[in-house]
Amino acid sequence: MANLRMPRARLSRLDARDVSEWGTLNTPPNKVSEFRPLLQAKVRIVWHIPSVMKPRTAIAALTAVGALSLTLASASGQVTIIEPSSGNLFTDVTCLSADGRSISGDSSGFAGIVPFIWKADTGRVDLTSEPRWARQNFSPQALSGDGSVMVGAAVLQNERVHAFRWNGVGTLQDLGTVGDYRYSWASAVSRGGRYIAGELSWDRYRDTNTFIWSAETGMQALGDVPWGGSTGTVAVSQDGNTVVGESSTGIGTSWLWTRSSGYSVLPQLNRPGAIGTRATAANADCSIIVGAVSSFTAAIMWTESGVEELGQMIPSGVDDLGTVVIGADSLQNQALIWTRATGVIPFTAYLSSMNITTPEWFDPYRLTGISADGMTICGNTRSQSGSRGFVVHVPTSSSITGIAMISLATRRRRPVA
């Protein structure tokens, strides 16, 4: 059987058909359509991998770091491209720490799926020496604020999937399940790494329920949402008292859970045709939540003031102040970013406005993490050789002046009561 790869629960829901497809491919669905032929189990396919990588500007410095990453540095910022591990073809960055100094993800291809963690001061480490209670692989989904704690899902020897916690080489911890649930996977961790939240399932990711875990209490199921449907977990607050998620009720319902009040529904956008919502990310204390309208492509933000429409985008992250939101278009073909100064614009235009150097082939299709201050962003890009993960650091936001002249940035936010 090929390596099973877990998706980020905050980006998509799975049904049995999706699981079957992911279980027969070494390449996740979002890469299948872009990089043919498929890397199917036990079938060796020869790929041509071009070696030419040209920076867009002559002032860039291109350096190799242990053949595991490539860094383009200029006076205005830095882009680091995460290269595949030996024998693999793709890299996929899934999460970023709030301090912007750690990212995690995996490399995939002929050598299977190899999880890694990359730190700004020490570079990348492939996590190949973890205990093999995880039959073939584990999939990172979220990092704590300083990158010291990683959570996600791992495949067991009995083919089941369990949530895990990792806080250093050789520390992979099976969080197990609770009650009669047979599957679990973690999709969020608090800023301090103390609390973990995710999903529980009876039967391969269908009919899911949300859990919260801490070392003191172990795993606790939050119970069914009153309105019915499976749940997906987006975020857990620093103090562990709040969890944000969404439920598949046909139209989609976003919710907030607190220890004191239980579940409550997040309000819908007050606009004709706006039906259903899907929360996708939140800040550290879950006071700012972003998501999308279910019935059409529109990003929304929930704050104590109400619901605010941001523009045409599916969000995947927000900074702590709600001033920068990252995401992609509805097909995840183009990475997008929203700021209060610009509205929704292509991520490449945002980088150009900052005079940040990128390779000629740089074509980001998805952003997967943003730091607390909004100055560091990670995601995935198409390249000449297949999908690559990347992390971008912007040292200052002062160079954003003038970007509002871009035509896409003329779209104004529409506050909704």
Q: How confident is the model at residue 230 (pLDDT cuts 50, 70, 90)?
A: confident
* Least confident span in 32-41, 283-292, 354-363: 32-41
CA distance 72 to 50: 18
Q: What number is the average pLDDT over the span 310-329? A: 97
Task: Tokens for 344, please give them.
Answer: 């929704």
Q: Is the pLDDT of residue 237 over 90?
A: yes
pLDDT tens-digit profile of 40-98? Answer: 222 222 222 222 233 332 222 222 333 466 665 555 578 999 999 888 999 999 999 99
CA distance 340 to 398: 14
What residues are paired with 118 via a beta bridge?
103, 124
CA 268 from chain centre, in angstroms, equals 24
CB 246 within 8 A of CB 254: yes
pLDDT tens-digit profile of 375-397? Answer: 999 999 999 889 999 999 987 64
Q: Look up the CATH superfamily of 16-416.
A: YVTN repeat-like/Quinoprotein amine dehydrogenase (2.130.10.10)
CB 229 within 8 A of CB 249: yes
Q: Containing H/E element for 377?
A: strand 376-382
pLDDT value for 407: 36
60-69 — which CB contacts under 8 Å span 24+ positions? 60/357, 65/123, 65/124, 66/123, 66/124, 68/116, 68/118, 68/123, 68/124, 68/126, 69/118, 69/123, 69/124
More confident residue, 107 or 408: 107
* Least confident span in 149-153, 401-405, 413-417: 413-417
CA distance 230 to 82: 35
* Least confident span in 224-228, 238-242, 305-309, 365-369: 224-228
Task: Tokens for 171, please give them.
Answer: 């520390």
Q: What number is the average pLDDT over the span 346-351? A: 96
pLDDT tens-digit profile of 101-153? Answer: 999 999 999 988 889 999 999 988 888 777 655 445 788 999 999 999 999 99
pTM for this entry = 0.80
Mean pLDDT value across the chain: 78
pLDDT value for 266: 95
CB 181 within 8 A of CB 202: yes
Percent of the chain with pLDDT over 70: 74
